[in-house]
Amino acid sequence: IDHAIMFAICCAVALSAELKDHILQLSMDRCGFSETNLVFIDDLSKTYNTPSKVGNNSDSTLSPFANKKPYECKVLLQELCKKTGSADIDCDHFAVADGQSLEDSTLLVVVKPTENETLPPVRVAFEVIELRLHSEATRQTKPSADQDSTKNTKDGKSTGYQLHVPDPAKFLPPELRREMLLDNGQRILLATRDLEKNFVGEVVWCKGGPSRIVRELLGDEKSPPFRPKKAGSTQTDASIEKTQQGKH
């Protein structure tokens, strides 16, 4: 992902080194890159000049963003950057890891928060957090539309959080959309620039625990948003299938 600025994951709850590695690995697998631009912020006295890396994380002992509103998190990030010189952190587009993150493997997405924010929150799965932040930072999505879709009201009053499942078709190029069938019957969408990469047999972490990829869905097997167009796109599926058959 071409973005020079790092995206912060603000810790409102203590995260283990294992979970940090897991989030980063999911993002790399989804994007098809060997590193991310994500950085875990769990100590406001530290200087953050480089993204977090798998294997180099430690357990969080602090959670400085606990009980903070999105705008308050932004202010803390700005103060951190000013105090420590961490100039490469995007203070307008970031994520928050909170208690709910530990329960449903989602992160809160924050986009240019204001002091009197009234829009409902948007949450996305671990594996798409960097894609989502990047698309927000490069203005490839409209936050208001997603926030409208998360509204869960009764008598005109918000009834709380609702998990938002982003539509990857909005920000993933068609050639990067590859849908996989898991051994538990679920489907997941993976993105990679290596169209010859065979994911069959790999273990992924999804809601409910680890699952193994059984096979790649092709053509009309895919969910409607990701089916290839009739003109030309089916060749991509065919080439992938041929490549995978050659590897078995």
78 is a domain residue: yes
Quote the pTM value. Answer: 0.59
Total residues belonging to the chain: 248
Structure confidence by residue, pLDDT tens digits, 183-212: 888 888 776 666 777 888 887 766 556 778
Does 148 share its domain with 40?
yes
141 is a domain residue: yes
Does 128 share its domain with 224?
no
Helical (H) or strand (E) element with 239: helix 233-247
Does 162 share its domain with 179?
no
Q: Which domain holds residue 137?
A: 6-168
242, burial (CB in 10 Å: exposed 0-12, middle 13-18, buried 19+): exposed
The residue among 140, 168, 196 that closes a domain is 168
Give the orientation angle of helix 129-137 with respect to helix 17-31, to 10 degrees.
60
Does 69 share its domain with 185?
no
Percentage of residues of the chain with pLDDT beyond 90: 40
pLDDT of residue 84: 86
Does 117 share its domain with 33?
yes
Percentage of residues of the chain with pLDDT beyond 70: 70
**8 A C-beta contact, residue 79 and residue 93:** no
pLDDT of residue 112: 92
CA distance 50 to 94: 15
Helical (H) or strand (E) element with 7: strand 6-11
pLDDT band for position 74 (cuts 50, 70, 90): very high
Does 162 share its domain with 40?
yes
Q: How far apart are the first and last CA of the chain?
A: 31
139 is a domain residue: yes
Does 145 share its domain with 191?
no
173: three-class secondary structure by DSSP = coil
User: Torsion angle of alpha carbons 124, 126, 128, 134, nearest 10°?
Assistant: 90
Does 90 share its domain with 208?
no
Helical (H) or strand (E) element with 25: helix 17-31
Does 90 share its domain with 56?
yes
Total number of domains in the chain: 2
Does 37 share its domain with 137?
yes
Backbone angles phi, psi at 88, to 5 degrees: -100, 15
Looking at per-residue pLDDT, the higher value among 158 and 30 belongs to 30
**8 A C-beta contact, residue 36 and residue 130:** yes
113 is a domain residue: yes
119 is a domain residue: yes
Residues of 91-101 as b/e, b for ≥16 C-beta within 10 angstroms?
Answer: bebbbbbbebb
CA distance 95 to 124: 10
pLDDT of residue 163: 41
Give mean pLDDT, residues 75-101: 92
Q: List alpha helices for 32-173, DSSP H.
A: 70-84, 99-104, 129-137, 143-149
The residue type found at 202 is E
1 is a domain residue: no
The residue among 134, 168, 202 that closes a domain is 168
46 is a domain residue: yes
Does 139 share its domain with 219?
no
The residue among 118, 149, 168 that closes a domain is 168
52 is a domain residue: yes
Does 86 share its domain with 188?
no
pLDDT above 60: residue 243: no
